[in-house]
Structure 1
Amino acid sequence: MTSLEQPARPGRQAHTDIRPDGWIDRFAPAPVRPYLKLARLDRPIGTWLLLFPCWWSQALATQGWPDPWMMALFGIGAVVMRGAGCTVNDILDRDIDGMVERTRSRPIPSGQVSVKQALAFLVFQLLVGLLVLVQFNGFTILLGAASLALVFTYPTMKRITWWPQAFLGLTFNWGALVGWSAVTGGLDLPALVLYAAGIVWTLGYDTIYAHQDKEDDARIGVKSTALRLGEASKIWIYGFYTLTYGGLLAAGLLAGLGFWFQMLMTAALIQLAWQVGTWRPDDPADCLVKFKSNRWFGWLVLGAIVAGHVL
């Protein structure tokens, strides 16, 4: 029996975020389907979560409407770099993924893609990312290249620390620095505060996400904040999200945003409160729903920043 065929453990309903009837299986040519799934193109929420800090920072540094061409570059970069990060993660975690209910059908542990093929695909994605990065100024190129150190080390953190979500925060919110430098050519306090706010945001949403795997993680010895915080997770996430809101508000005020930014950020705060208040930690499907809802939080924050400049 292969890892793809292993049934859910007795007493548990099978749970996976991989849809067998998604657009990739319906429309993509068969030879490329495993690679598109390896890059998680059928599950774009990770791309959104990587992209929003870039857009927030770009908008924060721009007096008026953000440059659409720069936004498009960040969009392409987020797709390929999220895909590269997932590829690195799946190469390093291929044995673990085969033992976890939610991940056992991923392309590498299920045998659809070999490690050598995944490495070649990784090189391709990094080259596309480099083509995007060189469109920016020199400082931004160096800053973007520095993020690779985080991309390649994050997947190992679940073996080392109970707080791998903190390292994901460092990685996924690097765009808060890159977006600002792409506009200004350097770094300033608003970007640093925005980066810190993004890190605690990630601590919140990825702890929710990690609760999907807590039983499997405990069984195979993988660490996470879901296991470290346990039944106190909801209280901690309230704290993380409070710091997120406060940090975003501070970054906007430091960048000169005023009334309309503050007013519209109230909607973002309500969204965070709804997430935690209605979250069911022992329901994997609800964990996934709440995690994905952070896309709407990202749009609300972006709208507040743009409105703060334009209005």
Structure 2
Amino acid sequence: MLKQKLDLYLQLIRWDRPAGWLLLLWPTLSALWVAAHGFPGWHLVLVFTLGTFLMRSAGCCLNDVADRDFDRHVKRTAQRPVTSGRLSSREALLVGAVLALLAFGLVLTTNIAAIQWSFAALAVTLIYPFAKRYVSMPQAVLGVAFSFGIPMAFAAVQSRVPMLAWVLLFGNLFWVIAYDTEYAMVDRDDDLRIGMKTSAITLGRFDVAAVMLCYLFYLLIWALAPVVPAQSAIYLIAIAVAGLQALWHGWLIRKRERDDCFKAFRLNHWLGFTVFTGIAGSWLVA
């Protein structure tokens, strides 16, 4: 029974699908390196890496409880532990609360500014699962939630959140909209049937074009922002490689086939990793 419960908990937090928390991790680590003008120290790297994993896992718990009545009508999500009844909503929320408390414990080892901003991050995390009922572009809400590690990283390093942090958050929001629209394209038929609101539905036949524009805005904003020493060839090469990956994703989703759209979504963490390596590499040789 214990092993069965553990397996259900691991399914609940998407243990076997690391792409989700990696999408959170790379912009957060990028912000840490930018804020610290280089390696920020192992303490902050560990705090934000573990915290990212814990908060993404807690978000999965809340999301599955909020969407349990919708997920049973979607083929891809019908067998999730809460949706299928193998875990109760109360149990899932308890797991999520424990994970969130552990993440907060990590934040307590940083500074007052990061602790204060963590409450705003939690509020956005709590809001997102319900945005899909009322907002035609819930991916924008997710974009804020998945980008909030950026101001928190600056707060942890500099004890403040400068304008640069918000510029990077704004740019990262476009990336989140891009890859989560790809994700929404996978379930478009099911979401239309059950009345769920997503960017894939709202954008209609302009979905692919919008995804590519979002990639472009993300890469332009991060390329033009002062995140690395001036004229860093390493960073410009990284941005170019990330752009090539974005073009590949556009090729994958052009026919709007489920498997290809899901593949494009899953591979997005490599794009974020590429940008991060460009930032870290630039500061390493500065």
TM-score, reference length from structure 1: 0.87
Which digits, 9 at most, give the CA deviation of each residue in 1:57-109, with x for residues without a partner?
00111223342331121111111100111111111111001111110000011
Q: 1:258 — aligned with what?
A: 231
The aligned counterpart of 2:101 is 127
The alpha-carbon distance between structure 1 residues 127 and 196, as it changes in their structure 2 partners (threshold 3 A), is same
Kept in 2: contact 1:208–1:290 (CA 8 A): yes
In structure 1, the partner of 2:274 is 300
CA contact under 8 A between 1:169 and 1:200: conserved in structure 2? yes
What secondary structure is seen at the aligned counterpart in 2 of 1:282? coil
Counterpart-to-counterpart distance in 2, 1:64 and 1:228: 40
Which residue of structure 1 lines up, in the alignment, with residue 137 of structure 2? 163
Q: Specify whether residues 230 and 131 from structure 1 end up closer, same or farther in structure 2 by C-alpha distance, changes over 3 A only.
A: same
Q: Which amino acid aligns with 1:262?
A: L
Distance in 1 between residues matched to 2:104 and 2:89, nearest whole Å: 22
- Choose which of 257, 260, 276 in structure 2 pairs with 1:283: 257
Question: What amino acid is the match of 1:247?
Answer: I
The answer (yes or no) to whether the contact 2:171–2:219 under 8 Å persists in 1 is yes
Pairwise mapping of residues 134-213 of structure 1 onto structure 2 (< 5 A)?
A: 134-213=108-187
Structure 1 equivalent of residue 37 of structure 2: 63
Say which SS state the counterpart of residue 29 (structure 1) adopts.
Answer: helix
Counterpart Cα distance in 1 of 2:204 and 2:258: 15
- Tell me the residue number matched to 2:284: 310
Offset, 1:250: 2.3
- Contact between 1:49 and 1:298, CA under 8 Å: does it hold in 2? yes
Q: Contact 2:227 / 2:279 at 8 angstroms: preserved in 1?
A: no
Unpaired runs of at least 5, structure 2: none
Q: Is the 8 A contact 2:175 2:214 kept in 1?
A: yes
Deviation at 1:150, TM superposition (A): 0.7
Contact 1:257 1:308 in 2 (8 A): no
Q: Residue 272 of structure 1 corresponds to which residue in structure 2?
A: 246
- Which of 74, 82, 85 does residue 48 from structure 2 map onto? 74
Pairing 1:3-18 to 2, within 5 Å after superposition: none
Residue 237 (structure 1) aligned with residue 233 (structure 2): no
| Distance change (3 Å), C-alpha of 1:281 and 1:152 | farther
TM-score (norm 2): 0.95
1:222 maps to which of 175, 191, 196: 196
CA distance in 2, matches of 1:58, 1:287: 31
Q: CA RMSD in A?
A: 1.5
Percent pairwise identity: 32
